[in-house]
Structure 1
Amino acid sequence: MKHPDSLPGLIEQLIEVGATMVARGFVLASGGNLSARLPGGTEYVVTGAGTWLDRLTPDDFATMTLDGEVTGGPAAVRPSTEWKLHQRTYRVREDVNAIVHMHPQHAVLVDALGHEIRLLTLDHAVYVRSYGRTGFHPNGSDELADTAAEQAREHNCVLLAHHGCSALGPDIGMAFRRAMNLEEAATATYRALLLGDRTTRFPVSPDEAMHG
């Protein structure tokens, strides 16, 4: 997905990703949220509070500044309760144009049980590369937003303990690709643990995967 240069284009892609997230079981109903930076970099569009991600319409989005001011969208739409999670990350990562926040079951479970998610395939190594982690903080809190943003300085995927993950990208497609690869890696790790394997060494490093 090329990052669109218009608000309608961004919203169209976010609607598509939201429907796919629910269809694949990455979120339930209104769990999770999506955002994309508008051209110019001073504003972003984010899903509204309580919106079901597989039923999104253009009227389910709010436009906000990086200072937290709502500047667009229907008057009845309140930004997602997680808007700070998006805002703080955009502030520290000027290269990020999209954020996908979802609740992937295996990633949350493996992390909650104290295991490291293993990047077992070339795609995991290339797209996830590395992931950060926060402790548990209430959703919508400053603590969650700030700790996630701090991890985002070094990582494109951030696990939020007992909650979910955020994945970042230069466009909506890449952010979602990274989120999916993190969950696939967690699923593979979960299956390895069921088989009794506790290997922690990755079979290939991100640099090896990218450069051969």
Structure 2
Amino acid sequence: MTTDRDDLVDQLIDAGRQLVERGLVQASGGNLSARLPGTDRFLVTASGTWLDRLEPGDLSEVTLDGDHVAGDQRPSVEWKLHQRTYLVRPDVASVVHLHPQHVLLVDMLGAPIRFTTLDHQFYVGSVGRVPFHPSGSEEIADAAAEAARGHNAVVLAHHGCSALGDTVSMALRRALNLEEAAMMTYRLLVVGDTTSDFPREWRGRIIEV
């Protein structure tokens, strides 16, 4: 019989494989985490791990106070980003942090990401943004957490993004839809379209997909 921890480990391993296969992160970039139900702890991928090669031993267990308590001794350099997000969003059970190409391209062009389809609206709908801060710094962790108060996805300028969810699956779906929305936005910009968007009267009224 598997435990909640074993199940979460399997979900993170599967999410990592999918994200690399879809090109949302390269090599040892990006990091994933999940809360351990009923505790003040979360699992986060270890520093230097490749998300498509994750094994159970590649996860660190950290408390919301920032103490390493089990697993790999070197949690991701971005562990504070996950920790601070969990502190301000008790409803969030998983954080997916990636470096997707189109999200960054659109942001560098100074354009907002347009959530033009039903899926984009349902799974993401809006995105926060923070200016560039060094990776692993207190500044990026605090800024990302502050942006997460009002959004389930956050763009980190010249760096990547975070997608949040009440499950690993939902965080993964949001990450995939955020990049797809950015890809569609970029293609619209390439052909000179700066106005096409989801019907305004239907925003915020999507019940299910």
> What is the TM-score normalised by the length of structure 1?
0.94
Please state if 1:82 is matched with 2:78.
yes
Q: Which runs of 5+ in 1 are unaligned?
A: none
Cα distance, 1:95–1:104 mapped onto 2, change above 3 Å: same
The within-5 A match list for 1:1-212 is 6-74=4-72, 77-199=73-195, 201-204=197-200, 205-210=202-207
Q: Which amino acid letter does the alignment assign opposite residue 117 of structure 1?
A: I
Runs of 4 or more above 3 Å deviation = none
Against the structure 1 CA distance between its residues 158 and 5, is the aligned structure 2 distance closer, same or farther, given a 3 Å change threshold? farther
Contact persistence 1:88–1:149 (CA under 8 A): yes
**Helix, strand or coil for the counterpart of 1:168?**
strand
**8 A Cα contact 1:126 1:206, kept in partner:** no
Determine the C-alpha separation between the residues in 2 that align with 1:133 and 1:41: 30
Residues 100 and 175 in structure 1, CA contact (< 8 A), matched pair in contact too: yes
What letter corresponds to residue 111 of structure 1 in structure 2? D
* AA in 2 matched with 1:171: T
Q: Indicate the percent of aligned positions where both proteins have the same amino acid.
A: 59
**TM-score of the aligned structures, taking structure 2 as reference length:** 0.95
Q: Deviations over 1:68-101 (max 9, x none)?
A: 1000114xx3000000000000000000000000
- Aligned Cα RMSD in Å? 1.4
Distance (Å, rounded) in 2 between the aligned partners of 1:194 and 1:207: 28
